[in-house]
Structure 1
Amino acid sequence: MTRPVIIGLTGSIGMGKTTVAAMFEKAGVPVFDADAAVRAMQGPDGELLPAIESAFPGSTGPDGVDRDALGKIVFGDKEKLAKLEAIVHPAVGRKRAAFLDENAQAPIILFDIPLLFEGGGNKAVDVVVVVSAPAQVQRERVLARPGMTEEKFEHILGLQTPDAEKRAGADHIIDTGTSLEETKAQVQAIVEQLRSAMADNG
């Protein structure tokens, strides 16, 4: 049985990845959103709460993980961040495997993974799509977010693989520094190209 072609979608903060993932979904491609899976598992009654509370006492409450409290604990501390990732990453992997099983009949599926390159996930997908925009556009978008500061932005950038490296490792680059219509056309072109390649190979 042929399995779906797996697209790995990634992009640095503020590049418009969420918008592009939604466009793929509208084009009929099932999307696994790693961030959404994490939010659900860390939300009220989330399955990761006991392990996170045990590792970082005081970081959870009735509404799930207190992101500010947990952020203060792990921010800038590599060991604590690694401890948190050791709880979260395997759980996300299990959710992703379940999603793959559920959508085994789909010709193409998409994994929306912010840290695709950082976690080595680019080796586990068939096609890497990087969402990118000019640095100035990225900065303006990110600094417009509530609670975002220059310091936080620089810290996040420091944790992420630089945009130029991501672009170099991409099979396709989607430029979101253009209009939504133009971005949508880029998404559609990739989907059509993959479908026609599959038809040729099928």
Structure 2
Amino acid sequence: MTKIIGLTGGIGSGKSTIAAYIAAQGIPVYIADDEARKIMELPEIIHKVQEIFEVNVIENGKLNRKKIADLVFSAPNLLKKLNEIIHPAVDENFSIWLKNNEKHRYIVKEVAILFESGGYKKCDKIILVTAPEVVRIERVMGRDGVIKEQVLDRMKNQWKDEDKAVLSDYIVVNTDLTAAKKDVDKILKELNKI
């Protein structure tokens, strides 16, 4: 049976870079955020999401993701409602994807909130990507054009790295990409034995 390797890390940790590196090694990688974005374009999902907000979050027939992010990151109850719509749809999508990749010994499932959502319980092994908080804040500010307070708001909705590390099988410190890739290579060699 195909093993599920969870790949996660806090915002700005560089988990997407690590996921891309793993995919370049020929390993199937499921990017939950990318799939969630596609799912959020489905008419029935757009309708369900709009229902949880008092303000209009639809623009040109599509959900305004930035507006939604701004609303939910400061309102945990809205984030919970949004996740209750999106997560089951992503789970269903992943099940189909997994079936299409069952010839592989293992696959990697990259999920930003793997622990927060409880999804880690369905993984055979977990890789945690970390970086110092100051580095993560700088990365997100540069990438998303947001201020420090907005990054810290998003971080509040995620577990701390120390808490994630306790439940992880492998940890990749992603401050130097060359060193991080070497660590990933070692992990992949180990995973080939499972």
Q: How does 1:1-202 map to 2 (within 5 A)?
A: 3-43=1-41, 45=42, 48-56=45-53, 58-62=56-60, 64-178=62-176, 180-195=177-192, 197-198=193-194
Shift of 1:76: 2.1
C-alpha distance 154-73 of structure 1, shift in aligned 2 (>3 A): closer
Task: Count matched residues.
Answer: 193
Shift of 1:55: 3.2
C-alpha distance 160-51 of structure 1, shift in aligned 2 (>3 A): same
**Alpha-carbon displacement from aligned partner over 1:103-138 (angstroms, at most 9, x marks no partner):** 111111011010011111111100010001123322
RMSD across aligned positions (CA): 1.7
- Given that 2:7 and 2:19 are in contact with CA atoms closer than 8 Å, whether structure 1 keeps it comes out as yes
Shift of 1:47: 5.0
C-alpha distance 182-74 of structure 1, shift in aligned 2 (>3 A): closer
- Given that 2:127 and 2:168 are in contact with CA atoms closer than 8 Å, whether structure 1 keeps it comes out as yes
**Alpha-carbon displacement from aligned partner over 1:130-150 (angstroms, at most 9, x marks no partner):** 001123322221222333112
- Given that 1:27 and 1:188 are in contact with CA atoms closer than 8 Å, whether structure 2 keeps it comes out as no
SS at match of 2:126: strand
Following the alignment from structure 1 to structure 2, what is the Cα–Cα distance between the partners of residues 143 and 91?
30
Following the alignment from structure 1 to structure 2, what is the Cα–Cα distance between the partners of residues 17 and 38?
17
Range that drifts further, 48-57 or 17-26: 48-57
- Given that 1:132 and 1:176 are in contact with CA atoms closer than 8 Å, whether structure 2 keeps it comes out as yes
Q: TM-score, normalised by structure 2?
A: 0.91
Long gaps (5+) in structure 2: none
Following the alignment from structure 1 to structure 2, what is the Cα–Cα distance between the partners of residues 92 and 114?
13
- Given that 1:40 and 1:46 are in contact with CA atoms closer than 8 Å, whether structure 2 keeps it comes out as no
Q: TM-score, normalised by structure 1?
A: 0.88
Q: Which has the larger radius of gyration?
A: 1
